[in-house]
C-alpha cells in the first residue's frame, strides 16, 4: 500500500469530484476516491471504458495492481513519448478533437454519463496523431446535469474554431483561445456568433456535431504548403503494409533511409518536416516521431495524408518553429533542407544554428548544408557571405558532438546540391560545462 505522498499530484486544482491524476515512477495513474464506488461499478458491469477505447476515444486504460491509501481503485493509461499541446495542433486536428469530444459524450450518454470538463488539456495525442480523451475521472451521471461540460467545450474548443474559420489572420488568436484564455463573451463579440442551446442533451450534441462539420478553413498558398504534392507524399507509403519503399532512384532519400536503419533511434524529432516524407520514413523504421512544422497549411496536409494509414506507426504533428529544444527532443534530430533557410531567411548565424539544432537531440543529428545557399544550380545570393560555409558549420557542431561526419553523394542533374552532415555521440550538458564553459548547455 502506497502512501498518498508517494505519488506526485500534478495541477493546482481538482475539479473532478471522484478522481485524481497521480504520477508514480514516471507513469501516470487515475486514482478514484471512495465516492466513485457506483461509477466504477458501472465501468465494470457496462464495460464503458472498453467501449470508449474500441471507438478510439480514450487511450488504452487498465486497472492497476498498485494500491494507494485513501483511494479505492487505481487505473493506468498507456502513454507515449510525445504529446502535443492544443496550442500547437494543426488546425484540422483541433476540429477533429471537437468532433471526438462530441462523439465521446454521445457514447457516454448511452450509459447515462457525460464529461464534466470540456477543455483541450484533457486530450492527449497518440497513435497516428489521434486526439484521445484521457480524463476518465471527468465522467459523471447526467441525471441532474443535462448540460455538463458543454459551456466549457463551446468556450475552449468550438469558439476558437469558429474564429479560425473566419480567416487565417485569426490563427494566433485561435491558438490562445484553445487554452481557454479568452472570455466567452469576448469570443461572441469577435466572431459575431452567439451559441445558445436548449432541449435534450442528445439533440444538443447532434446539433453541435452538425455545426462543427460545417466549419472549413482557408490558407494562403505558401512555398511550404505547396512544397510537396499529394502524389509525392503518397510515395512515402506502401499503402498495404506502411513500409518504406526502395529509394534507389532517389540517392538523398536512400542515404537517409540507410542512416535511419543504422542509428535505429526510438524517438525522432523532424524539424521543418513539411509534408513529412522523412517523418514517415523514420516512423516506418520503428521510431516514434515528433514532426515539427511552422506552416499550418503544410502540417494539415501532412495530417490528412497520414491519418488513414497504418495505425501501427506513431507520428505526432506540431505547428511550431525550431527552438525550445528542452520541450521537443529525440534520440535523433532530423534537420533537412533547413540550415540555409535559418541563415538567410531568419538571419541566424551558423554558431546559433548549430546550438539550436543540437538542443533538439540527446544523441544524434542528421542535417544538411546547401553550398549554393538559396540557389539551385547557382549561388543565391551571389556572392555568398564569407560566414556561410561548411567548415564553420561543422566546426560549430563539433562543440556539441564527439563525431561529425560529412556525407557527400552524387545528386541527379538539375537538382540543388546538398551535403549531409551526420553528428553522433552528443556531449552531455555536464561535460559541456566542464570542457567548454563558454557554450550554453543545450
pLDDT bin (cut points 50, 70, 90) of residue 222 is low
Position 114 pLDDT exceeds 90: yes
Res 153: pLDDT = 96
| Residue 387 near residue 350, CB atoms below 8 Å | yes
Rounded to an integer, what distance in angstroms lies between the CA atom of residue 156 and that of residue 174?
A: 10
Averaged pLDDT of the chain: 88
Rounded to an integer, what distance in angstroms lies between the CA atom of residue 192 and that of residue 373?
A: 47
State the greatest distance between any 2 C-alpha atoms of the chain, in Å, as a whole number.
75
In this structure, of 21-30, 50-59, 130-139, 359-368, the range with the lowest mean pLDDT score is 21-30
| Residue 66 near residue 54, CB atoms below 8 Å | no
Peptide bond before residue 439 is cis, with ω within 30 degrees of 0: no
Position 115 pLDDT exceeds 90: yes
| Residue 162 near residue 193, CB atoms below 8 Å | yes
Res 243: pLDDT = 46
Rounded average pLDDT over 33-62: 95
Peptide bond before residue 372 is cis, with ω within 30 degrees of 0: no
Burial class (CB in 10 A: 0-12, 13-18, 19+), 183: exposed
For residue 25, report the phi and psi dihedrals to the nearest 5 degrees. Answer: 50, 45
Rounded average pLDDT over 161-183: 93
| Residue 178 near residue 89, CB atoms below 8 Å | yes
Res 196: pLDDT = 87
Tell me the three cell numbers of residue 377.
544550380
| Residue 147 near residue 200, CB atoms below 8 Å | no
Rounded average pLDDT over 145-157: 92
Model pTM greater than 0.75?
Answer: yes
Distance between start and end Cα atoms, the chain: 40
- The label of the residue with cell 465494470 reads 44
Q: Using only C-alpha atoms, what is the Rg of the chain?
A: 24
Rounded average pLDDT over 118-135: 93
Side-chain-facing half-sphere of 230: CA atoms under 13 Å: 6
Res 436: pLDDT = 53
Res 430: pLDDT = 73
Amino acid at each position: 500500500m502506497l502512501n498518498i505522498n508517494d505519488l506526485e499530484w500534478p495541477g493546482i486544482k481538482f475539479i473532478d469530484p471522484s478522481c485524481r491524476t497521480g504520477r508514480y515512477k514516471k507513469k501516470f495513474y487515475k486514482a478514484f476516491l471512495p465516492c466513485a464506488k457506483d461509477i466504477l461499478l458501472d465501468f465494470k458491469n457496462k464495460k464503458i471504458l472498453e467501449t470508449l477505447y474500441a471507438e478510439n476515444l480514450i487511450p488504452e486504460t487498465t486497472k492497476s495492481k498498485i494500491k494507494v491509501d485513501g483511494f479505492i481503485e487505481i487505473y493506468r493509461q498507456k502513454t507515449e513519448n510525445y504529446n502535443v499541446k492544443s496550442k500547437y495542433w494543426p488546425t484540422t486536428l483541433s476540429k477533429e478533437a471537437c468532433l471526438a469530444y462530441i462523439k465521446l459524450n454521445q457514447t457516454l450518454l448511452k450509459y447515462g454519463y457525460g464529461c464534466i470538463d470540456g477543455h483541450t488539456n484533457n486530450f492527449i495525442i497518440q497513435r497516428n496523431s489521434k486526439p484521445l480523451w484521457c480524463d476518465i475521472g471527468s465522467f459523471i451521471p447526467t441525471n441532474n446535469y443535462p448540460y455538463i461540460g458543454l459551456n466549457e467545450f463551446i468556450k475552449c474548443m468550438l469558439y476558437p474554431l469558429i474564429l479560425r474559420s473566419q480567416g487565417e489572420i485569426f490563427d494566433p488568436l485561435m491558438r490562445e483561445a484553445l487554452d481557454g484564455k479568452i472570455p466567452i463573451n469576448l469570443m461572441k463579440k469577435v466572431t459575431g456568433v452567439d451559441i445558445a442551446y436548449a432541449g435534450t442533451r442528445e439533440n444538443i450534441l447532434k446539433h453541435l456535431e452538425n455545426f462543427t462539420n460545417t466549419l472549413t478553413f482557408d490558407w494562403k498558398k505558401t512555398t511550404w504548403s505547396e512544397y510537396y504534392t499529394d502524389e509525392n507524399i503518397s510515395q512515402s507509403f506502401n499503402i498495404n503494409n506502411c513500409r518504406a519503399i526502395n529509394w534507389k532512384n532517389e540517392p538523398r532519400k536512400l542515404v537517409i533511409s540507410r542512416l535511419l536503419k543504422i542509428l535505429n533511434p526510438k524517438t525522432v524529432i523532424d524539424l521543418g518536416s513539411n509534408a513529412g516524407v522523412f517523418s514517415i520514413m523514420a516512423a516506418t523504421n520503428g521510431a516514434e516521431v515528433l514532426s515539427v512544422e511552422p506552416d499550418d497549411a503544410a502540417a494539415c496536409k501532412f495530417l490528412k495524408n497520414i491519418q488513414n494509414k497504418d495505425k501501427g506507426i506513431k507520428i505526432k504533428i506540431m505547428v511550431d518553429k525550431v527552438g525550445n529544444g528542452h520541450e521537443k527532443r529525440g534520440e535523433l534530430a532530423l534537420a533537412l533542407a533547413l540550415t540555409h533557410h535559418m541563415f538567410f531567411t531568419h538571419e541566424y548565424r551558423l554558431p546559433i544554428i548549430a546550438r539550436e539544432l543540437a538542443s533538439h537531440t540527446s544523441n544524434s543529428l542528421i542535417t544538411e548544408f546547401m553550398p549554393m545557399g538559396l540557389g539551385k544550380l547557382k549561388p543565391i545570393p551571389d556572392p555568398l557571405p564569407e560566414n556561410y560555409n561548411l567548415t564553420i558549420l561543422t566546426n560549430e557542431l563539433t562543440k556539441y558532438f564527439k563525431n561529425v561526419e560529412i556525407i557527400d553523394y552524387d545528386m541527379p542533374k538539375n537538382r540543388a546540391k546538398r551535403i549531409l552532415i551526420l553528428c553522433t555521440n552528443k556531449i552531455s550538458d555536464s561535460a559541456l560545462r566542464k570542457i567548454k564553459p563558454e557554450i550554453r548547455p543545450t
